[in-house]
């Protein structure tokens, strides 16, 4: 939940957020303008999904610092199967649930009212993530200050999740120019892009499959992994 930054031409204001692609394109996302929650700018959100491309299809979207939920709604609109959103600000959690209902997505969404750092260690017993081998599309877009004050804990969180992620998962990390992308987990192959002041890193997870577990069939039009 980032502190609000100075106004920018494409900054979201109360009531103006919209889904920008997929089956729900143009649908509004309720946003109160609470200064404790600043959504990813629309131009950056669009760039993120251009980078992710077809890999969104068939995934379980996982947003560690959900805020408005815009990244999860965008993922579901573009072909993700399910979404889990973690948010520690209780009034924002209520708004996430309201948005899920208004968008007709309530049956595909799990909302966790809590802290991602507390939630992650409980992951092995967390349904529905433990019930299916869907690849994850994981979003990590916390307050930029976490990359300064809590960088070791945040990198440990990402490393732990990368080690547990199903094969062919994709991680999306948003930071600012103060963050050194070299600190990101080495288990992912990262594509780093700059959208000042934001820095976006998109990482492909390539965890070895357990013995006896077949690789997921490639989606139509995609070559085998």
38-52, pLDDT tens digit by residue?
789 999 999 999 999
What confidence score (pLDDT) does residue 38 get?
Answer: 74
Question: What is the domain partition of the chain in residue ranges?
Answer: 17-205
What confidence score (pLDDT) does residue 122 get?
Answer: 82
Q: What are phi and psi of 63, to 5 degrees?
A: -110, 110
What confidence score (pLDDT) does residue 128 get?
Answer: 63
Comparing 85-99, 124-138, 179-193, which segment has the lowest mean pLDDT? Answer: 124-138
Beta-strand ranges (E) seen in 39-187 are 60-63, 82-87, 109-113, 136-140, 170-176
Average pLDDT (167-183) is 94
- Looking at residue 43, what DSSP letter applies? H
Average pLDDT (128-150) is 85
What confidence score (pLDDT) does residue 26 get?
Answer: 96
- Looking at residue 188, what DSSP letter applies? E
What confidence score (pLDDT) does residue 152 get?
Answer: 93
- What's the rounded Cα separation, in Å, for the pair 33 and 42? 15
Q: What are phi and psi of 34, to 5 degrees?
A: -55, 125
What confidence score (pLDDT) does residue 102 get?
Answer: 96
Q: How confident is the model at residue 214 (pLDDT cuts 50, 70, 90)?
A: very low
What confidence score (pLDDT) does residue 57 get?
Answer: 97
Q: Which class would CATH give 17-205?
A: alpha beta
Are 77 and 219 in contact by the 8 Å Cβ rule? The answer is no
Q: How confident is the model at residue 212 (pLDDT cuts 50, 70, 90)?
A: very low
Evaluate if residue 211 carries a pLDDT over 50.
Answer: no
Q: How confident is the model at residue 222 (pLDDT cuts 50, 70, 90)?
A: very low
């Amino acid at each position: 939940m980032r502190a609000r930054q100075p106004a920018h031409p494409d900054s979201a204001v109360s009531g103006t957020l919209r889904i920008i692609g997929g089956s729900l394109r143009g649908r509004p996302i309720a946003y109160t303008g609470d200064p404790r929650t600043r959504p990813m700018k629309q131009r950056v959100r669009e760039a993120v999904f251009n980078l992710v491309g077809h890999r969104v299809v068939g995934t379980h979207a996982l947003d560690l610092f959900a805020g408005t939920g815009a990244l999860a709604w965008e993922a579901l609109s573009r072909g993700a199967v399910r979404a889990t959103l973690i948010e520690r600000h209780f009034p924002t959690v209520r708004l996430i649930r309201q948005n899920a209902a208004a968008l007709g997505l309530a049956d595909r969404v799990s909302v966790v009212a809590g802290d991602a750092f507390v939630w992650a260690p409980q992951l092995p017993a967390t349904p529905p993530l433990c019930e299916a081998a869907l690849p994850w599309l994981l979003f990590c877009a916390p307050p930029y200050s976490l990359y300064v004050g809590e960088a070791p804990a945040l990198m440990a969180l990402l490393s732990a999740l990368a080690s547990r992620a199903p094969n062919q998962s994709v991680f999306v990390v948003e930071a600012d120019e103060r963050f050194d992308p070299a600190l990101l987990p080495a288990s992912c192959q990262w594509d780093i892009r700059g959208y000042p002041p934001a820095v976006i890193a998109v990482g492909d997870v390539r965890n070895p499959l357990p013995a006896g577990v077949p690789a997921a069939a490639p989606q139509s039009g995609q070559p085998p992994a």
